[in-house]
Structure 1
Amino acid sequence: MNKNKRIRSIEDLREVITPESRVLTLFSGGLDSSYLLYLLSQQKCTNITALSVDLGDDLDYEEIKHLATKLGAESIIVDRKKEFVQDFIVPAIASKSIYFGVHPISSSLTRPLIAKEAVNLAAHLNCDVILHTANQSQNSLRRLNGAIEQLDFNGYYGTPYEFSALSRKEKAQNLNKFGIESFSKRSYSGDSNLWCREFESGLLDDPEDFRTPETLYRWSSSKSTKEPSQISITFEGGIPTCVNETKLPLLQMIEYLNKEVGAYGLGRFTGLEHLAGGEKVLEVREMPAAHILLDAYRHLETACIGAETIREKLSVEQIWVREAIEGRWYETLKEAAEMFILNVSKKVTGTITYRLDWHTLEIISYCANKPIYIRDRDNWEKEEANRLRIKIPSLV
């Protein structure tokens, strides 16, 4: 990968893009990606593909297609929810992928998948440029660039927003002139998928003074509306397979748990995440399914796996999380860590049962397929004493 082919500014964009360029852009239909299509239109570029990857978010894809067409691009929408669950969420659960013990990771999982789709489609369409819209205050910058580099894309790639910083107001005003007025009242930046709804920037800029509007949350409730209940999560070989003894594909299980667990006010996270230079930015997340699945996995793991293996796994988990966060998804170290973690997960089979109440997730039952826990201490002590008496010679 030639990093001299990195597009970092609007000036780079104007230097590289010609009317003959074949450009693929990552397109969410948001302000930044819409403004990028506007910039490309100013370059008289007519061969533009706007790629949208459906990962179970809450976007209106008909509106996205309409907006891309209006801005002069061909819209291509691909559904990759199943791949996201199988290849990214499953290892994330087994890795107990929580950032510094504060919140489950999310965009670290989606960006390498989106980049892979972009590189594959660019090769199919003979595109010589891949563009995204991450900026200096977004960790997607190193995650998307890193994945594109690791996947050996040979054309120009990057984002004009890395070195060209425009305010949301400036972008919205220019789009207004182009006849697109839907962004004028947006006061935050959002990113959503079936695993997480994440918000940042705008009214959430300042960690010392912010309030998250209740209207941003869709899965989790702010008021107690449900009676206490029980819920059980069953895993087979480290993969969640059943809720309350009913088999569910993991994709459908996540959708169900987001609403069911969220109804008890669970799964909201607020935290600071570091940028490449060490500075921290505020991010707010809504992740009810992740909350219960990660918790259930760890508890069941302790029922199935020996203490020394878990001690080693804890350090390997942090390697896996670090490599994902730093945008090194397709590098050898992350892959090696994942092989160890998934090998351990093969022995994690059983069920964890909870009592659900308002803001409460209380375990009431461990049930492992091959448990290493003791169920009757008195009998165990007697049996162990007899066993050791026979095995170890007495002093008398």
Structure 2
Amino acid sequence: MKRYQQVRSLEDLSYVARQSKHILTLFSGGVDSSYLLYKLSQTGCKVTALTVDLGDGVDADDLRHITGFFNVDLKIIDAREQFAREFIIPAIRANAQYMGIYPISSSLSRPLIARLAVEMAQTLGCDAILHTANQSQNSLRRLNGALSQLNFNGFIGSPYEYSAFSREEKIQALAQAGLPRFQARGISGDANIWVREYESGALDNPEDFMMPEALFKWTSCRSAQPDELLSVCFERGAPVAVNGQTLPLLTLIEHLNAVVGRHGIGRFSGLEHLEGGEKVLEVREAPAAMLLMAAFRHLETATLDAALLRQKLALEQTWVNEAIEGRWYGMLAASLAAFIRTSAEAVSGTVFFNLRSGVADLAAIKARDPLYLTDRDGWEKQIARVRGSRSLADLSPSLTPAYSLTA
């Protein structure tokens, strides 16, 4: 049974402000979330802005300047460790790529943001949780889906779902309110420690687009790099070391983004569907994600039975689909996650890559409990001896029927 009421327009926002004692709104410091604070400031309702740091850096002073301007409380949560441990590890094990094209990102981050928002709302006594996703952003169904599955008892949603304003209109309104700090931008971005994603603006038309090199961070190749051998070690399905050096998970991911990215490895482009079936172009860079998922795939192929792998391959895209459709906290997602988590327990070992410009070539696989052969000729001879001895045993007199030749 639904315990929440949906917010979909600015008209809904006015109603919510009259009904609510305290509103929690997700806040990034961008135009959309700042414009929402501006509209809420006109209602007189108590508002708290929540920022969740997932690894792309948070300028706390900048955020405080904006929230202070609108007399709004600001809460900042560092959720990088949680994100890496609870969402990135499952994504590695599930080879979480949309249609096998590129690593998923907001499908992983939005469920965590929603959970932290619910926890904060309960702590503060908020009776509404708002965000700023619109109909052309898949975060709309991911945030709404997670908030509803988490059984938040209050108002949830985005006033931009049905009330559409251009970026320029929002910038102008904020400037007139006394906050002339925002500038027009042709491309929108969303980033965390796993993926940096770009869309809209200059990327609107898949038939003719160009990604400005300056927007890339990890994979921006300023000079040619020599080839580099790199190894990643896994323990029970989780990465634990790079080049033999044990690293905390968050440090390991950040390190791989830098090392793998400097070879220009980990850029992706592809289409993603909206809720109504329309497709939009997205460009991403994710060097650590690319390498870690490739390494895990090689290692699980080396250690898991072929029949198990076939079933896992069939279920991976179902896992991905539940995530991208905003059903992270559903029963099907939990069941799939349990299967994938259990199979990953047997995956331990080290994978080696040779990094060169734009490519990570597999160099070696060293599994702890491998099913692969390391000496095929020796194996052939051994098998021949074993099977040959069985054949002789089958032909021995004691195993053949006796026949009586009587007159």
TM-score bracket for this pair, using the shorter chain length: over 0.9
- Pair 1:144 & 2:151 matched: no
How far is the alpha carbon of 1:185 from its aligned partner? Answer: 3.0
Q: Provide the rounded CA distance (Å) in 2 between the counterparts of 1:4 and 1:244.
A: 49
In 2: Cα distance, 1:229 partner to 1:72 partner: 52
Q: Counterpart of 2:44?
A: 44
Once the two structures are TM-superposed, the CA of residue 200 in structure 1 deviates from its matched residue by: 1.1
Paired residues of 2:53 and 2:77 also in contact (CA < 8 A): yes
Partner of 1:17: 17
CA deviations 1:221-262 (Å, max 9, x no partner) are 245521111000000000000100000111001101101100
**Match status 1:309 vs 2:308:** yes
| Alpha-carbon distance in 2 for matches of 1:4, 1:154 | 5
Residues 49 and 215 of structure 1, relative CA distance in 2, 3 Å threshold: same
User: Per-residue CA shift, 1:2-45, capped at 9, x if unaligned?
Assistant: 37710000111112212963100000001110110011012122
1:24 and 1:185, CA in 2 relative to 1: closer, same or farther beyond 3 A? Answer: same
Query: What TM-score results when the alignment is normalised by the length of structure 2?
Result: 0.94
Measure how far apart 1:190 and its partner are: 1.2
Q: In the alignment, does 2:364 pair up with 1:365? A: yes
Give the number of the structure whose alpha-carbon radius of gyration is greater.
2
Deviation sequence 1:41-94 (CA, Å, 0-9, x none): 12122x110000111113312211221121221000011111111110001000
Q: CA deviation at 1:181?
A: 2.2
Q: Following TM superposition, by how much is the alpha carbon of 1:202 offset from its aligned partner in structure 2, in angstroms?
A: 1.7
How far 1:203 moved relative to its partner? Answer: 1.9
Distance 2:204 2:281 in 1: 7
1:135 matched to which residue of 2?
A: 134
CA distance in 2, matches of 1:391, 1:52: 69
Q: Secondary structure at the match of 1:185?
A: coil
How far off its partner does 1:186 sit? 2.3
Q: Which residue of 2 aligns with 1:355?
A: 354
Q: 1:207 to 1:356 in 2, by over 3 A?
A: same
| Identical-pair percentage | 51
User: Which shows bigger deviation, 173-182 or 48-57?
Assistant: 173-182
Aligned to 1:273: 272
> After superposition, where does 1:184-333 map in structure 2 within 5 Å?
184-333=183-332
For residues 308 and 2 of structure 1, the distance between their equivalents in structure 2, rounded to whole angstroms, comes to: 41
Supply the distance in 1 between the matched residues of 2:167 and 2:389 (Cα, whole angstroms). 77
Q: Distance in 2 between matches of 1:391 and 1:141?
A: 65
C-alpha RMSD of matched pairs (Å)? 1.4
2:18 is paired with a residue whose SS is: coil
Which deviations, in whole Å up to 9, do the C-alpha atoms of 1:210-229 show, x marking residues without a partner?
Answer: 21111111111245521111
CA distance in 1, matches of 2:48, 2:190: 21
CA apart distance, 1:195: 0.6
Q: What amino acid is aligned across from residue 178 of structure 1 in structure 2?
A: A
Instruction: Give the match for residue 383 of structure 2.
Output: 384
1:280-311 superposed Cα distances (whole Å, 9 cap, x missing partner): 11111110100100000001111111111100
- 1:136-194 CA distance string (max 9 Å, x none): 00000000000000000110110000001111111111011122222223222111111
- In 1, Cα distance between equivalents of 2:84 and 2:367: 24
- Report whether the alignment pairs 1:58 with 2:57: yes
Mapped partners of 2:197, 2:74: distance in 1: 24
Partners of 2:61 and 2:208 in 1: how far apart?
A: 37
The amino acid of 1:32's aligned partner reads D
Residues 19 and 154 of structure 1: is their aligned pair in 2 closer, same or farther, counting only changes over 3 Å?
closer
Q: Are the counterparts in 2 of residues 224 and 265 from structure 1 also a CA contact under 8 Å?
A: no
**SS of equivalent residue, structure 1 residue 18:** helix
- Do 2:127 and 2:155's aligned partners in 1 also have CA atoms closer than 8 Å? yes
Q: CA deviation at 1:391?
A: 3.2
CA distance in 2, matches of 1:96, 1:129: 35
Distance 1:28 1:102 in 2: 28
CA contact (8 A) 2:272 2:281 kept: yes
Tell me which stretches of 4 or more aligned residues in structure 1 moved more than 3 Å: 1-4, 391-396
Alignment partner of 2:351: what SS?
strand
Gaps of 5+ in 1: none
2:171 and 2:182 in contact (8 A); partners too: yes
- Name the counterpart of 1:164: 163
| Whole-angstrom distance in 1 between the partners of 2:316 and 2:4 | 34
Q: Which residues of 2 match residues 340-351 of structure 1 at below 5 A?
A: 340-351=339-350
Between the two proteins, the alignment pairs up a number of residues equal to 395
Partner of 1:125: 124
Q: What is the rounded CA distance, in whole Å, between the counterparts of 2:19 and 2:159 in structure 1?
A: 18
Counterpart of 1:2?
Answer: 2
Contact 2:4 2:156 in 1 (8 A): no
Q: Unmatched 5+ residue regions in structure 2?
A: 397-407
Tell whether the 8 Å contact from 1:19 to 1:44 is kept in structure 2 after alignment.
no
Report the counterpart of residue 152 of structure 2 in structure 1: 153
Please give the alpha-carbon distance, in whole angstroms, between the structure 1 residues aligned to 2:162 and 2:239.
Answer: 43
**Which residue identity does 1:24 align to in structure 2?**
L
The separation in 2 between residues aligned to 1:20 and 1:363, in whole angstroms, is 57
Which whole-Å CA distance do the structure 1 matches of 2:373 and 2:73 have between them? 62
Give SS of 1:198's match: strand
